[in-house]
Chain A
């Protein structure tokens, strides 16, 4: 099912300990930047993939790990910018 970065705010908050939908990801393929909320997210029973809204490269992958763990990787992200607080930035 096709969704967007809002839909993975919960699992990402487990990873980062806070809401990161306003964090800015830079794609290592096309070098464009966008907030996580604007990524294209595809959800299956095996987990979620967040793709670059510009070039479709897989940026983030979230899935079940062993036991109750979450497995998380950032295969297509060259940098991630986070504000220390949570201002209305974007």
Chain B
């Protein structure tokens, strides 16, 4: 479904990604783990069109999307839940969700998706008239995910959805990620919480200083000494 082919991405003359390749098959949950500054967010931003790769290509369903405008990529079915949620705090929950469906014209479909999102996140329904900035961190994460789902994506990019959440809430969020996946949405999940990420993922990539250093099935990586040492707290 998605194929990233040895891309190089720069910020000015700092190279953040060095020949990164990665693949996501339809229906999978693929996770990308790595330390701070490894280049995880950079990769997601490049896929969703916020950044352009200098070299290499990104294929989505066989077509190159590298360097295309972000709105074209959303239109083609890739939604990105950015790191730090980035919800529109000065708008209501409902308006945030509406913006998620910005490019859609199918009124009935949008209404159905509102219901789906409210079913997935009942909290959001209770707070739909409330300003998004007044939500708790966990609720904001739910809103960011709900907002992305409103585009009815076929591929969902999630950047550290568990960041800053209490353990119980992290569990809830991961359960919901699996639920979203079970409805047929493919997921590329960036996480620092490698334990949780590997427990829901089918396959995983490990990225270090802009390079993919390891990849394999989630079980393989869970068992790997290298991953245990670096990302699973050595147990």
A, B in one complex: no
Please give the residue numbers on chain A whose beta carbons come within 8 Å of chain B beta carbons, in ascending order.
none
Please give the residue numbers on chain B whose beta carbons come within 8 Å of chain A beta carbons, in ascending order.
none
